[in-house]
Chain A
């Protein structure tokens, strides 16, 4: 039930942010649409503890995570541009052990790895198998993301 309410709240905020008009008809239409969305999708979204959405500690970690991700994105963006121009590549498939218990954490880590240019998750089982464009020994990605992403998903 709490998951239903949280879904209604989030989709109503998204509706207001996208339409951005506060006349009565728009507010009522947004309420109806977000109730329909929550009725369909709330049982897929929240399995346990929906009140964790409002945990400020995890939001703080998430914002810090976004800044680290942005830094890594920009750094590896210039790195991949250099590799494309010079052609110095050293591709490898390496194994990343995420130490994550939940699927959410693995999804977050895998999406971040794939989003960064130069690294690409090609297979995900218990470990993640990552294709990297330039492999250097002792320079394994995943450790920088791994620690803070465990805290974002609350493990």
Chain B
């Protein structure tokens, strides 16, 4: 049973990493590439850490690996948000945008008024 779960997690993590890498190359602009990077973080790294947790089931390493997964889930959105927010403030334009409620220009004006950039 544990071997089957391990195999499934192994295939899921490696396929996620492969698809995320393809997405990094295929997507047109910065913001959509960050989506692909998020997919690598969640799919690839979390599934492979859960693989270690499942293969050492039921020992202390299971608990430690699950704690590492939880810490990674707390910290990895901060990196993605920091990248995306910096690009947004610098005014890197997203390509083929279908809907944009607050434009880049308006947000830049707000930022200039508040932070005096």
Contact = CB atoms under 8 A, between A and B. Distances in A.
A111 B81 CA distance: 8
Given A91-B96, A115-B42, A123 B32 contact: no
Interface in A81-104: 81, 84-85, 87, 89-95
A133 B32 contact: yes
A121 interface: yes
A117 B38 CA distance: 6
B98 A129 contact: no
Is chain B's interface secondary structure helix, strand, loop, or mixed overall?
helix
Interface residues of B, number: 43
A93 B102 contact: yes
B7 interface: no
Contacts of B88: 122-123, 129
Interface string A99-124: 00000000000111011011011111
B74 A111 contact: yes
Specify the main secondary structure of chain A where it touches its partner: mixed
Nearest to B101: A95
- Top 7 A-B residue pairs of the complex, sorted by shortest distance between their CB atoms: A114-B77, A84-B23, A92-B99, A122-B88, A117-B39, A111-B77, A122-B84
Interface of B: 16, 19-20, 22-23, 26-27, 31-32, 34-36, 38-39, 42-43, 60, 63-64, 67, 73-74, 76-78, 80-81, 84-85, 87-89, 94-102, 107, 110
Interface of A: 14, 17-18, 20, 73, 77, 80-81, 84-85, 87, 89-95, 110-112, 114-115, 117-118, 120-125, 129, 131, 133, 135
